[in-house]
Amino acid sequence: MSSWQAVLRKDLRVEFRTRYGVSAVIMFLLTTVAVILYSTPGERLQPSILSALLWISLFFGAMTGLSRSFVSEEERGTSLMLRLYANGESVFIGKFVYNLLLMISLAISALIFFEFFFTKDFHVRDWSAFVLQLVLGAIGIAAVSTILSALISRASQKGALLPILALPVLMPLVIATTDATRIALEVPNAVANAQGDLLILFSFDVAMVLVSYVLFDVIWRD
């Protein structure tokens, strides 16, 4: 087993044992949906509002669950062992894949909740565009969360720092995904209409993954 696969397997085993990340994001999604339902009883929600609410839920849900990837290593005292037995590239890839899997699980859960609780308003007209922008958004959030989680893991106020640092970096992604989601909810041929947003998302993902991969070893070791 390669080093990054060992890191991924370790994180998955810890998650299956504690269920911290999954429980945190599920509870956050349920709370968000409950607040929306209580605030808008019987009202029709436009696609622009639903897309914004969906990505607000995904962003803050990710900040709740993905921030633990390196913070938990420092809290358990296992970060030193990880530095000794795995190189920076393997740690980054393993943590990134773990965060991506958690982010995809969060996106699927959010989609199920929105489909169930907003049945009258939430209708995806182009699933190919919707799934594509959802995957691209998940990749970008996972990459940014991985590098920032490593950066703040030794700080005293770990939980509060990640959303503060991540929001300015992820703002282009959130804007593009919100607009792409709105288009996928409004028109059948959403891929053609959302080409600009999808190109922004693809470029953002490539840039963030490459920059995070290059800078990770310096941040992780120092």
Asked if 190 contacts 130 with a C-beta cutoff of 8 angstroms, the reply is yes
Return the higher-pLDDT residue of 64 and 77: 64
Q: Rounded mean pLDDT of 84-110?
A: 86
Res 160: pLDDT:
65
* Neighbour-count burial for 202-217, b at 16+ CB within 10 Å, e otherwise: eebbeebbeebbeebe
Q: Is the pLDDT of residue 27 over 60?
A: yes
Res 138: pLDDT:
93
Q: Rounded mean pLDDT of 44-73?
A: 81
Q: What is the pLDDT of residues 30-52, one digit of tens each?
A: 888 888 878 777 777 888 888 99
Q: Is the pLDDT of residue 21 over 70?
A: no
Range of the domain at 141: 3-221
**What's the chain's average pLDDT?**
83
Instruction: State the Cα–Cα distance between residues 185 and 49, nearest whole angstrom.
Output: 11
Q: How confident is the model at residue 206 (pLDDT cuts 50, 70, 90)?
A: very high
φ/ψ (deg, to 5) at 77: 75, 20
Q: Is the pLDDT of residue 207 over 90?
A: yes
Q: How confident is the model at residue 165 (pLDDT cuts 50, 70, 90)?
A: confident
Q: How far apart are the first and last CA of the chain?
A: 27
Res 204: pLDDT:
94
Return the higher-pLDDT residue of 8 and 84: 8
Return the higher-pLDDT residue of 80 and 166: 166
SS3 222: coil
How many domains does the chain fold into? 1
Res 172: pLDDT:
92
